[in-house]
Amino acid sequence: MVKLKLERQRKGFNRLAAIYDYLLLIPPGRGFIKSQEALIPLLPQKKSCLIIGGGTGTFLRSLIISGKVTQIVYLDISEKMLSQASAKIKDLHQNCTVEFRRGSFDKVAEEEKFDLIITNFFLDLFSREEVKTWISFIHEKLSDEGLFYYTDLQISKGKTLKTFIKNMYIKVLYFFFRNATAISGKTLIDLRTEILQSGFNVIHEKGYLKALFYSAIFIKRS
């Protein structure tokens, strides 16, 4: 059953890869890019980095150009997303190596640890139980001084018109991605709280577009 679900998701994201970058041109799509790139300047120099669910590689290119890391493992379930990401960085001549891996947990070796792990608009794809599993995985795979770089949608509370519009936008996104890619997430949960309750502290954080998007850098709680 799990393999069947992953295969459906792989095919869905393969189909989406061809139009994904164009979707980000639709407002407020640019916010997806700006929010996930804005905290890059605040990152300290790190050696090894794992990017999970990196998609078509826009963030990857910006991270490489920043010179913040020297080794990147780029993990994604879709071979077409990986192909696009590879094409986006082929003209770069930075001192950084990138290894592309297609798959999930199984593509990260038990002994591997990373100084930086990045998930941008990834955890929102899953159910609460799956989110807990991924956060636990991230916690385990970070080195002692490792950082977790995170960007995602954020729940808005209140009864204002702006809050209603933001929450409706999120519902539309879930409807689209569930039908296009067979993701298991049905609704957005409070991901920030889940991360904090899983042994992390916030170093830097910022909201975008009235907190529709949220970006943060976390460190493991000592």
pLDDT tens, 22-46? Answer: 888 777 878 889 999 999 999 999 9
Kindly state the DSSP code that residue 41 receives in the 8-state scheme.
Answer: G
25, 199 Cβ separation under 8 angstroms:
no
Domains of the chain: 2-220 (3.40.50.150)
Question: How much is the mean pLDDT over the chain?
Answer: 93
Q: pLDDT digit string (tens) for 65-101?
A: 999 999 999 999 999 999 999 999 999 988 899 999 9
Mean pLDDT over residues 9-22, rounded?
92
- Reported in sequence order, the residue ranges of 85-162 that DSSP labels E, i.e. its strands, are 97-102, 114-120, 142-153
Query: Roughly what angle, to the nearest 10 degrees, separates helices 58-66 and 30-37?
Result: 30
Q: pLDDT digit string (tens) for 160-210?
A: 888 888 889 999 999 999 999 999 999 999 999 999 999 999 999 999 877
pLDDT at 122 over 90: yes
Report field, pTM of the whole predicted structure over 0.75: yes
C-alpha dist (Å) from residue 65 to 58, 170, 172, 206, 218 = 11, 31, 33, 22, 22
